[in-house]
Chains A and B, each alone.
Chain A
Amino acid sequence: MSQNSLRVVWVYPDLLSTYGDQGNVLVLERRARQRRLDVQRVDIRSDQPIPTSGDIYLIGGGEDRPQRLAAERLRRDGGLNRAVANGAIVFSVCAGYQILGHEFINDLGQREQGLGLLDVISTRGEGERCVGDVLADIDDRLGLPPLTGFENHQGITHVGPNARPFARTRIGKGNGTGDGTEGAYNDTVFGTYMHGPVMARNPHISDLLIKLALDVNALPPVDDRWYEALRNERIAAATQPS
Chain B
Amino acid sequence: MAGNTGPLSPRAKLAVTAGKAAAAVSRAAGRGSGSVIGGKVALKLDPDLLARLATHLDVVLVSATNGKTTTTRLIAEALRASGPVVSNALGANMPAGITSALAGGSDARYGVIEVDEKYLAGVARDVSPKAIALLNLSRDQLDRAAETRMLAEKWREGLAGTKAVIIANADDPLIVWAASSSSNVVWVAAGQEWKDDAWSCPSCGGVMQRPGDDWFCGECGFRRPTPSWALSGDYVLDPHGSAWPIHLQLPGRANKANATTSAAVAATFGVPPQVALERMYQVQAVAGRFDVVQFLNRDIRLLLAKNPAGWLETFSLIDGPPAPVILAVNARGADGTDTSWLWDVDYTRLAGHPIFLLGDRKLDLAVRLEVAGLDFRVCETVDEAVQSAPPGKIELIANYTAFQDVRRRVGN
The reply to whether the CB of A185 lies closer than 8 angstroms to some CB of chain B is no
- Complex Cα distance, B344 from A27, in Å, reads 13
User: Can you identify 15 A-B contacts, CB atoms within 8 angstroms?
Assistant: A13-B196, A14-B208, A18-B142, A23-B342, A47-B207, A65-B149, A150-B337, A150-B338, A152-B142, A152-B338, A195-B338, A200-B364, A200-B371, A226-B370, A227-B370
A45 and B343 in contact, given A17-B196, A229-B363 (Cβ under 8 angstroms): no
B342 to A: closest C-beta gap in Å = 7
Cβ 8 A contact of B363, one of A14, A21, A45, A233: A233
How many angstroms from the CA of A197 to the CA of B367 in the assembled complex?
Answer: 11
Residue in B closest to A198 when the chains form the complex, CB atoms: B340
A227:B367 contact, CB within 8 angstroms: yes
Q: Are A20 and B363 in contact (CB under 8 A)?
A: no
Task: Take A230-B364, A230-B367 as given contacts and tell me if A63 and B147 are in contact as well, using a CB distance cutoff of 8 Å.
Answer: yes
Known: A18-B139, A69-B205. A195 touches B340 (CB 8 A): yes
Give chain B interface residues in 129-153, CB to chain A under 8 Å.
139, 142-144, 147-150
Residue-wise interface mask of A (202-231) relative to B, using a CB-CB cutoff of 8 A (1 in contact, 0 not): 000000000000000000000000110110
Q: Look across to chain A and name the residue whose beta carbon is closest to the beta carbon of B146.
A: A63
A23 to B345, CA, bound (A): 10
A176 to chain B, nearest CB (A): 16
Residue numbers in B under 8 Å from A150 (CB-CB): 143, 337-340
Tell me how far the C-beta of A38 lies from the nearest C-beta in chain B, rounded to whole angstroms: 17
Closest 4 CB pairs of A and B: A20-B340, A23-B343, A14-B199, A20-B343
**Is B119 on the interface with A (CB-CB < 8 A)?**
no
What's the least CB distance linking A16 to chain B, in Å?
10
State how many angstroms separate the Cβ of B129 from the closest Cβ of chain A.
29
Contact of A200 among B139, B200, B368 (CB under 8 A): B368
Interface membership of A188, Cβ < 8 A: no
- Name the CB-closest residue of B to A66: B200
Q: Taking chain A's interface residues, is the majority helix, strand, or loop, or is none over half, making it mixed?
A: mixed
Residue B218 at the chain A interface, CB threshold 8 Å? yes
Report whether A26 and B343 are in contact in the complex, using a CB–CB cutoff of 8 Å.
Answer: yes
Chain A: residues with Cβ within 8 Å of the partner, total of 35
| Cβ of A169 to closest chain B Cβ, rounded Å | 17
For the complex, give the distance between the alpha carbons of A167 and B56 in Å. 61
| Chain B residues within an 8 Å CB radius of A64 | 147
Q: Does A1 lie at the interface of the complex (its beta carbon under 8 Å from any beta carbon of B)?
A: no
Please, how many angstroms separate the alpha-carbon atoms of A22 and B373 in the complex? 16
Name the residue on B nearest A242 (C-beta). Answer: B337
Residue among A17, A18, A65 making CB contact with B205, cutoff 8 Å: A65
- Indicate with 1 or 0, residue by residue over A144-155, a CB within 8 angstroms of chain B CB atoms: 000000101000
The chain A residue sitting closest to B308, CB to CB, is: A20
B366 within 8 A of A: yes
In whole angstroms, what is the CA distance A17 to B199 when docked? 11
Contacts of B368 in A (CB 8 A): 23, 200
B341 contacts partner chain A, Cβ-Cβ < 8 Å: yes
User: What is the CB-to-nearest-CB distance from B151 to chain A, in angstroms, rounded to a whole number?
Assistant: 11
Q: Is A15 an interface residue (CB 8 A)?
A: yes
What's the minimum C-beta distance from A223 to chain B, rounded to whole angstroms? Answer: 8
Q: How far is the CA of A65 from the CA of B363 in the complex (A)?
A: 33
Interface hits, A37-53 → B, CB 8 Å: 45-47
Chain A residues within an 8 Å CB radius of B373: 30
Interface flags, A56-67, vs B, CB<8A=1, else 0? 000000011110
A17 CA to B341 CA in the complex, in Å? Answer: 10
Whether A15 and B342, one on each chain, are in contact in the complex, defined by CB atoms closer than 8 angstroms, is: no
Interchain CA distance A4-B278 in the complex, whole Å: 61
Contacts of B200 in A (CB 8 A): 14-15, 46, 66, 69
Contacting pair B340 A196 (CB below 8 A): yes
Which A residues are CB-close (under 8 A) to B148? 63
B44 to chain A: closest CB distance in Å? 27
Chain B residues within an 8 Å CB radius of A132: 337
Contact present for B338 and A19 (CB under 8 Å): yes
Inter-chain CA distance A18–B141, complex, in Å, is: 11
Interfacial chain B residues near A27, Cβ < 8 Å: 371
- Contact status of A229 and B366, CB under 8 A, knowing A20-B340, A22-B344, A63-B149: yes
- CB pair B142 A200 closer than 8 Å: no
The answer to whether A45 touches B370, judged by C-beta atoms less than 8 angstroms apart, is no
> Across the interface, which residues of B come within 8 angstroms of A195, CB to CB?
338, 340
A135 to chain B, nearest CB (A): 15
Flag whether A85 is at the interface (Cβ < 8 A).
no
B-chain residues with CB within 8 Å of residue A196 when the two chains form the complex: 339-340
Q: Which residues in window 193-232 of B have CB below 8 A to A?
A: 196, 199-200, 205, 207-208, 218
Name B367's contact: one of A17, A18, A65, A226 (CB within 8 Å).
A226
- CB-nearest residue of chain A relative to B198? A14
Beyond A63-B150, A66-B205, list 7 extra A-B contacts (CB 8 Å).
Answer: A13-B199, A23-B343, A30-B371, A45-B207, A47-B207, A47-B218, A65-B205
